[in-house]
A and B are shown apart, each in its own frame.
Chain A
Amino acid sequence: MAVTRSEHHKFDNRLRYLYWIIASAHVLLICGLGYLQLLYGGDYLERADDSRLVEHLLAPKRGIIKTSDGIVLAETIDSFDTRLCYYEFYSPKNEKDFPNTGSDVRPLDEDELSAIDRYVNAAESLLRADKQEVSEEIRSAFEKMHGRVQGKYEEVQELRILRELSLSGDAGARERFIATMSRVERFRSRLNYFEHSELSNTQEIAEKIFRLRELLDKEEEIMSLCASDVGMFGRQSFLFIEKKKSDFVDFVKNPFRVVQGISFDAVISIESRLDEYPAFSVESTYRRSYPSGDLAAHVIGYVDDLNVDLEDEGLSNFAAVFEERERHGFVPDEVEKALGEARLRKFIGGYVFHNELAGMTGIERYNEFTLRGNWGVKINERDVRGRVHQNYCEILPKNGDELTLSIQSEIQKAAQHAIDGRKGAIVVVDVSDGRILAIASAPTYCPQNIVEPMDDKTIGYLYQNDSLPMLNRAMKGLYPPGSIFKMVTAIAALEEGVIDSGTTIPCSGSYRLSQMDRNPARCAHIYGHGPGFERLNLEQAIETSCNVFFYDVSRRLGNEALSTWSSMFGMGARTGLESSGEYSGNNPNSNKDTWFLGDQIKFGIGQFDLLVTPVQMARMTMAVANGGNLYPLTILENEKTDSVDHYRLPISEESLNAVKRGLVDVVEGRHGTANRARLGRQYLGEWSVAGKTGTAQRGAGRMNLAWFAGYAPANDPRIAFAIVLEDTRTSGGEDAATRLCDVVVAARRALSDDGSRQQ
């Protein structure tokens, strides 16, 4: 029907409104599209990747540690673990829905929990040959897992409730939620860590700092927006809960270890029955093994679980983990790139540190980077049903490097035997380059006991023991050196010219600092070095270890010269074994405000504030033996010291020879403090020993220390050594020196073998 003109005008008007409605609806759609794709596209891409990519870490094989004569001290062996998948325990009635929604993932109910019995029975029959009492192992692992699943499930539920509360206007709840969600603190502590890192001036770290600052700013902005804007809060909290949920689902689907170290036969029997027992799986892993028992246990150290349990801490300890990772260089750059920042966080948090072994002490710890190698990663793409679709990316692990120690196993064995049953330490070094040939601490332990599940007895021995078997006394034991320090005092006195080799000093058994001194310092022989020794020269003083002689020498030297010479011989400084975790001890500082004369003379005989480690003493003795070359000590075979001049101390040949004559007399002389130790020429022939005994006091109420530091052979030194024994009833000469014979014999055999081999 025809329409009139005025009606047509009206029609146009109405049509115009429709134009507007349609246009604005489309504009709204485009805005919505832009909001999702342009504003939050990155977040959604991350979530898309989260749901489709599964990482498997490929463990590197840790490098072996062996002695210079090829005895393996630590190695990595293949091991098979049995795992269980918690997710497989859900009964089918709950699995009809979408598999990845998380809605069907919850702690198991009673019925489902009882299904573990079937698995326990199966495991008992399948693993009977391998292990006893598997059932308890499985049950406890399963219960632990169940507990954690419950905890995580409740955490998500609580977050959900908290979110509901926050959205309904509870300001406190909202604050709590934001505090849980915020990564500001984490970023800040990481930033702090990098800014205070020694490497902060490198380009790489500067870039990291820059990136972290950006992240921190962004996060701070988002969190403050969340606090003020309900819409923003709703969105962010939703994403946060979703992430928690998906982490939870991943956790539940990730098989957990129930039985460690099963045989290959058991692997086959389990794999063949996977249809029947789908929750079982077998994973091949590596285990650390220490085949040489307690040989050099303290030096090699041990590996243990990295104790950063992020599962429980909910990533709150991220900075610490990151630090740990940076220190060890856990994740190679390629992996970092492949994963991206956000996934890396998950990667570190969830997996690398979960069941992850790292060196805890000794070589294992301080050469972690060399030994560990680098992680590889395999990222699989999976479809909605969890089937693997393709390899998204695979970076193979790089196995750890082998480490050879300079230790000689025969000398090491003898050294360990020498101090066996006592508390103490022994160090043997090669005087020609400062390589450590043997280093032992007693009491000792077997690292193998630590990497295996421990029984109460082992725990009691290792950790609840006053004699501290885990302590590496050779590098970390701080002792007053006592009389063996007289070597330094003597050389200092000769070099400073306060005495010469002919100077004699009388000993009356005690030393008065002044006429009025009512509490004189005592000599070892309280009646004085009597008949035949009215006046002692330097050689005799060393031979008899006369305190009075050295009191007087110290007094003449002055504290400044003493302190300088002491530090020249390496007191108060690490010996070059930084990479093995040694302590530096204490050298009394000449700038100290109050130097009493009494302190000074005590310093001269190695008491007072002077604290040294056995390795420092071995190094000092090495310098005396080899003509004044204070090489840094090395324990790794490939770290040999080359430049000789650099380490030369300014000591004249004559002074050294004067002291050395004294040291020979200690062993061979009639009055020598070690003459009963049977280390002289008549016992050891060419490899006779020269050295100095020491019996150091450790203060009131504590038993003395027995020291012996020396070198062999006496006329052409090849090894230098220091031995210390705690809680001695006698003296250094009787207690420490007598134990050295076997060590010297072993060294002679090993080194002459070595020499013939080299020829």
Chain B
Amino acid sequence: MIINNVKTQFKLIHGEIDYKIVFVVLALFAIGVTNIFSASTRLNEDGEYFYLSFWYKQIQFIALSVFLVLLILMVPYNHLLRLRWWFYVGLMAMLAGLLVLKGFPAVTRGGATRWYSVGSFLFQPSECMKIAVVCALASHLGKLRGEKTLVSLVGPALIVGIPWVFIALEPDLGTSLVLFPVTLASLYIAEFKTKHVLWILGAIGAATPIAFFFILKPYQRDRIFGFLNPTIENNYQLIQSQIAVGSGQLTGKGFREGTQNILGFLPERHTDFIFSVLSEEWGFIGGSLTILLFLCLFFLFMKNLDGIRDMSGRVLVIGIVTLLFTQTIVNIGMTLGMMPITGLTLPFVSYGGSSLLSCSIGIGLALNVIVYRRPRERIFESV
């Protein structure tokens, strides 16, 4: 067994881990808590401030996440990947359950059934499903031998396709869309022919208008219309978000001074629109630094790919990087009016247990690949 004792294991992790990544992730957590604190300010009937406990709950989730990451780091990823089907199938069952168990314990909000209520929390299986899909994909692609033909696309298509259908049925447009870039990047990194990848891309492009008119719900269609033509009236969120971001200007209005935030003009401000709060209160400086921090995170992971010879490890890291990257771009782009409004959260920053836990599990797995990137014997030599 690899697991010696916890102390040795920590020594090993300490020697192998890239602390820059840890630092960046912790910085993002800090940014998140700060802005959630600001965004949880509310006004009561008398016009006085009071604070909701989102920020405190977020700190609890962060503690839980850090614990989970450490736990994941204890076991090398190739061992962990053996458990992939348990997770995959379990989460699939939960996704399927959402369709059946409407009412209780599944929770429906805004016309979408995405959550299970667990005590006082809501658990969103699709958040974890994304990670499970990436794991299954990584493991599958790592084992593929020989020339990658069109036939070899069948496996990945099934791995991604089945949960995709269930997620799209919830409906959760954002999460289901995130799976596309993740799959494409994984296939690309797993040495599939560029031409095949482009074909898939083309097919998705061709399917978009069909999906748009036949599959999307009216409110989803409105959101996209609203994005394309902001005079449509359902774009309240977008307009308010743009006002919030724009009015921050260079230096921002200051911590807890954002008027769009405090006075409640900004909807969903501690979750989906946390970046609007951030850019309103910290301005262009704060906003662009946060974006650069995300960029650093992704680049650091990719830089560490150099030493990884194992295909499944590579695909795992790239899958997770793409996952986080897509979420980041779509979320920030949405607050700026560059993307249609979807329910995607900003990784590490937005409030939300499921989102935070799934992102942290992702980070844990990617770090795991980096920690255990060298052949086993050499690791033990160094310890």
Task: For A42, give its contact among B188, B249, B267, B321 (CB under 8 Å).
Answer: B249
Q: Does A37 contact B (CB under 8 A)?
A: yes
Interface string of A17-39 (1 = CB under 8 A from B): 11100110110111011101110
Residue contact A18 to B302, C-beta cutoff 8 Å: yes
Assuming the A-B contacts A22-B325, A44-B245, A51-B265, are A32 and B284 also in contact, with contact meaning beta carbons closer than 8 angstroms in the complex?
A: no
Contact A7–B191 (Cβ < 8 Å): yes
Q: Which residue of A lies closest to B242 (CB)?
A: A36
Chain B neighbourhood of A14, CB < 8 A:
188-189, 191
* Residue B236 interfacial (CB < 8 Å): yes
Residue of B nearest to A41 (CB): B249
Output the least CB separation between B144 and chain A (Å).
10
Q: Which of B249, B299, B309, B329 contacts A3 (CB 8 A)?
A: B309
With a cutoff of 8 Å between Cβ atoms, the chain A residues found around residue B299 in the complex are 19, 22-23
Judged by a CB distance under 8 angstroms, whether A463 is at the interface is no
- From B30-38, B80-88, B285-293, B360-368, the one touching the partner chain is B285-293
Q: Is the CB of A47 within 8 A of B243?
A: yes
Report whether A1 and B325 are in contact in the complex, using a CB–CB cutoff of 8 Å: no
Contact (Cβ within 8 A) A387 B47: yes
A276 within 8 A of partner (CB)? no
Q: Which of A18, A26, A41, A48 contacts B259 (CB 8 A)?
A: A48
Stretch in A95-103, A486-494, A719-727 touching the partner: A95-103
> A-facing mask of B242-272, CB < 8 A → 1, else 0?
1111111110000000011011110100000
CB–CB B47/A51 < 8 A: no
| Contact of B230 with A by CB under 8 A | yes
Please indicate which of the listed interface residues B243, B244, B245, B321 has the most CB atoms of chain A within 10 Å of its own CB: B243
Contacts of B311 in A (CB 8 A): 1, 3
The reply to whether B291 and A41 form a contact with Cβ atoms under 8 Å apart is no
Interface string of B311-337 (1 = CB under 8 A from A): 110100010010001000100110011
Q: In the complex, what distance in Å separates the CA atom of A89 from the CA atom of B140?
A: 64
Q: Does chain B have a CB within 8 A of A381?
A: yes
Contact A381 B263 (CB under 8 A): yes
Which residue of B43, B244, B250, B291 contacts A38 across the interface (Cβ within 8 Å)? B250
A357 to B191, CA, bound (A): 81
Contact with B along A461-497 (1 / 0, CB 8 A): 0000000000000000000000000000000000000
- Contact check, B246 vs A36: say whether CB atoms are below 8 A apart: yes
How long is the Cα–Cα vector from A103 to B226 in the complex, in angstroms? 14
Contact A381 B250 (CB under 8 A): no
The interface residues of chain B lying within 8 Å CB-to-CB of A40 are 246
**Chain A neighbourhood of B295, CB < 8 A:** 22-23, 26
Please state if A43 and B265 are interface contacts (CB–CB under 8 Å).
no
A140: shortest Cβ distance to chain B, in Å? Answer: 33
* B312 cross-chain contacts in A, Cβ below 8 A: 1
Q: Assess the A36–B245 pair: CB atoms within 8 A.
A: yes
In the complex, what's the smallest C-beta–C-beta distance from A143 to chain B, in angstroms? 28
Quick one: closest A residue to B266, CB to CB? A384
Interface: B126 (CB within 8 A): no
Q: B309 contacts A43, CB within 8 Å?
A: no
In the bound complex, CA of A98 to CA of B43 (Å): 17
Q: What chain A residues lie within 8 Å of B263 (beta carbons)?
A: 52, 381-384, 389
**A15-B305, A32-B338 given as contacts; is B279 within 8 A of A48 (CB)?**
no
Asked if B298 lies at the interface with its beta carbon under 8 angstroms from chain A, I say yes
B244-A26 in contact (CB<8A): no
A-B interface contact total, Cβ < 8 Å: 156
Q: Does A238 contact B (CB under 8 A)?
A: yes
- Chain B neighbourhood of A238, CB < 8 A: 230-231
Judge whether B59 is part of the interface by a CB distance below 8 angstroms: no
Partner of A48, one of B244, B283, B294: B244
Nearest residue (CB) in B for A19 is B302
Q: Which residues of A contact B233 (CB under 8 A)?
A: 101-103
Note all chain A residues with C-beta closer than 8 A to B143.
1
Interface check A163, CB cutoff 8 A: yes
Chain A hits for B43, CB < 8 A:
383, 387, 389
Interface of A: prevailing SS = helix
User: A2 within 8 Å of B by Cβ?
Assistant: yes
Contacts A37-B284, A242-B239 known; A385 to B264 CB distance under 8 Å?
A: yes
Please pick, from B264, B309, B314, B332, the residue contacting A29 in the complex, using a CB distance under 8 A. Answer: B332
Measured between alpha carbons, how far is A19 from B291 in the docked complex, in Å? 15
A241 to B233, CA, bound (A): 12
The interface residues of chain A lying within 8 Å CB-to-CB of B70 are none
Contact A101 B259, beta carbon cutoff 8 Å: no
How many Å from the CB of B299 to the closest CB on chain A?
Answer: 7
Interface string of A185-219 (1 = CB under 8 A from B): 00000000000000000000000000000000000
Find out whether the CB atom of A37 lies under 8 angstroms from the CB atom of B292.
no
A33 touches B336 (CB 8 A): yes
Considering only residues 138-197 of chain B, those with a C-beta below 8 Å from chain A are 142-143, 185, 188-189, 191
- CB of B16 closer than 8 Å to a CB of A: no
Judge whether B18 is part of the interface by a CB distance below 8 angstroms.
no
A32 vs B287: C-alpha distance in the bound complex, in angstroms? 11
Which residues of A have CB within 8 Å of B325?
A: 22, 25
Output the nearest chain A residue to B259 by Cβ-Cβ distance.
A52
Does residue B381 face the partner (Cβ distance < 8 Å to A)? no
- Whether B305 and A43, one on each chain, are in contact in the complex, defined by CB atoms closer than 8 angstroms, is no
Q: Point out the residue from B265, B310, B336 that lies within 8 Å of A36, measured CB to CB.
A: B336
A30: nearest chain-B partner, CB-CB: B288
Tell me whether A10 is interfacial, beta carbon within 8 Å.
Answer: yes
Kindly report which residue of chain B lies nearest to residue A101, judged by CB atoms. Answer: B236
Query: Which residues of B lie under 8 Å from residue A19 when comparing CB positions?
Result: 299, 302
Bound complex: CA A279 to CA B312 (Å): 68
> Which chain B residues in 223-240 approach chain A with CB under 8 Å?
230-231, 233-234, 236, 239
Q: Are A29 and B338 in contact (CB under 8 A)?
A: yes
Flag whether A11 is at the interface (Cβ < 8 A): yes
Q: Is the CB of A29 within 8 A of B291?
A: yes
Expressed in whole angstroms, the Cα–Cα distance for A238 and B183 within the complex equals 38
Give the CA-CA distance A103 to B305 in the complex, in Å: 51
Tell me the smallest distance from the CB of B272 to a CB of chain A, in Å: 15
Which of these, B188, B246, B291, contacts A44 with CB under 8 Å? B246
CB of A389 within 8 A of CB of B332, answer no
> Nearest-CB distance from B261 to chain A (Å)?
10
Contact check, B310 vs A41: say whether CB atoms are below 8 A apart. no
Asked if B247 contacts A48 (CB within 8 A), the reply is: yes
Within 8 A of A (CB), among B63-77: none
Say how far B338's CB is from chain A's closest CB, in angstroms: 5
**B305–A41 contact, CB under 8 A?**
no
Indicate whether A417 reaches chain B with its CB closer than 8 angstroms: no
For B336, give its contact among A29, A100, A102, A384 (CB under 8 Å): A29
Question: Is B377 an interface residue, CB under 8 A from the partner?
Answer: no
Enumerate 28 A-B pairs (CB-CB under 8 Å) in ascending A order.
Answer: A14-B188, A14-B191, A15-B302, A17-B188, A22-B295, A22-B299, A22-B321, A25-B325, A25-B329, A29-B333, A29-B338, A30-B292, A32-B333, A33-B287, A36-B242, A37-B245, A37-B284, A38-B249, A41-B249, A44-B247, A49-B259, A52-B260, A102-B233, A238-B230, A238-B231, A383-B265, A384-B263, A389-B263
* 3 nearest A-B residue pairs (beta carbon): A44-B246, A41-B249, A384-B264
- Add 20 more A-B contacts to A19-B299, A22-B302, A382-B263 (CB < 8 A): A1-B310, A14-B189, A18-B302, A23-B299, A25-B329, A28-B338, A29-B336, A29-B338, A33-B245, A36-B246, A36-B336, A41-B250, A44-B245, A48-B244, A48-B259, A51-B243, A102-B233, A383-B47, A383-B263, A383-B265
Interface residues of A (CB under 8 A from B): 1-3, 7-8, 10-11, 14-15, 17-19, 22-23, 25-26, 28-30, 32-34, 36-38, 40-45, 47-49, 51-52, 98, 100-103, 160, 163, 238, 241-242, 381-385, 387-390
Residues on B lying within 8 angstroms of A by beta carbon are 43, 45, 47, 142-143, 185, 188-189, 191, 230-231, 233-234, 236, 239, 242-250, 259-260, 262-265, 267, 279, 283-284, 287-288, 291-292, 294-295, 298-299, 302, 305, 309-312, 314, 318, 321, 325, 329, 332-333, 336-338
